[in-house]
Chains A and B, each alone.
Chain A
C-alpha cells in the first residue's frame, strides 16, 4: 500500500533532488513512499503547471501537448497595457531571437485581456513586433480560465479598475522544463534578469 505524505515546501532544496541540476524545481512537492524488498523508498512528485488549451495568434490551438518535452518560457501580458508589457515584449523578443529555429524551446505569451485581444489583434501585435520565431505563440482564452491559469503558474493577474489599462499582472517570465515543472522566475522588465533567463534556457535545453 502506498502512503502519500504531503509536505508543503514552497522553495525546494536541491539536496532533495534525485537528479543533478543547476536550477531547482519550484512549487509544492508531494512525496510518495513505497516499500520495496523491505526498504522504504520515497519518490518525489513535483508540481507541474495545470493543463490548458488556448487559441494562438496563428489560429491554432496550443495546449500542453504543444510544449511537452520542450523547455518553455511563459509570460502574461495584454496588447494595450501602457506600463510593463512593452518592456516584457521587448525582452521576450530578445529571447525569441536568441533561440531562432530552436524547436526545443517554446514561448507562450498569454493575453489576460480576452475582450480586446482577439486572435486578429494578437496576430497584428506579433507581426508589428516582427516576431520571427515560429515557436513563440500569443494566446488568448476566456478571462476566468486565464486568471486560473496564472494562479497555476503561481503569479498574479486580475482586474483592477485603478490600474492603467484596467488590469494588473505580474511582470514575471516563468521557465518550465520539458516536464512542465517550474524551474525559475525572472523579472521580465529587467535586462539582467532576461540575460540570466537566456543562460538558464541553454542549461535546460542541455537537460532534455
Chain B
C-alpha cells in the first residue's frame, strides 16, 4: 500500500478529535439543541405553550413511549400536571438510537429523576414497537 499523506493526516486529526471528545456530554448537547428551546434548559416549560418536563406527570407516566414521542413528535390536547396543552411538537426524525438513549438518560439524570435510565437495546425495541 502506498503511503498517503492526506490520509495519514485525516487519521491523525480524527484520532485527536476522538481523544478530545471523550469528555463530551452528548446528552446535554442534544438536549440543549433539540429540547431546551421549547421545554427550557431546566425542563421548566414555557407558560401554556410548552409543557414542563421536570415533575411532569405525563412524562413520568408515559416514559415507555418517550423514544417514540421524541422521534415522531406529538400533537393534540394533552394534560400535564392538570394543565392542558395543545400545540404541535415537531418530529425529530434524524435522531439515532444512540442520540435518543443519550437524551433520555440526560433527562433522567438532570431533569426528572423519576424517568428511568434506558439502554440502547430498550430504545431500539421501543422504536421497533412504535412504528
Contact = CB atoms under 8 A, between A and B. Distances in A.
Interface residues of B, number: 12
Contact of A82 (B37, B40, B47, B48): B37
Nearest to B48: A128
B88 A86 contact: no
B90 interface: yes
B114 to A, nearest CB: 25
B72 interface: no
Contact of B37 (A80, A86, A128): A86
B24 to A, nearest CB: 22
Contact of A93 (B37, B38, B47, B87): B47
A83 B48 CA distance: 18
Nearest to B90: A82
A54 interface: no
Residue from B36, B46, B87 having most chain A Cβ neighbours under 10 A: B46
A84 B88 CA distance: 16
Interface residues of A, number: 16
A166 to B, nearest CB: 12
A129 B37 CA distance: 14
Contacts of B40: 90
A83 B37 contact: yes
A87 B44 CA distance: 12
Nearest to B38: A86
Contact of B88 (A80, A90, A93): A80
A164 B90 contact: yes
B112 to A, nearest CB: 19
Contacts of A164: 90
Contacts of B36: 87
B50 interface: yes
A93 B47 CA distance: 10
A82 B49 contact: no
Nearest to B85: A128
Contact of A130 (B48, B50, B87, B90): B48
11 contacts: A86-B38, A86-B49, A90-B40, A90-B46, A127-B48, A128-B47, A128-B87, A129-B46, A129-B47, A129-B48, A130-B47
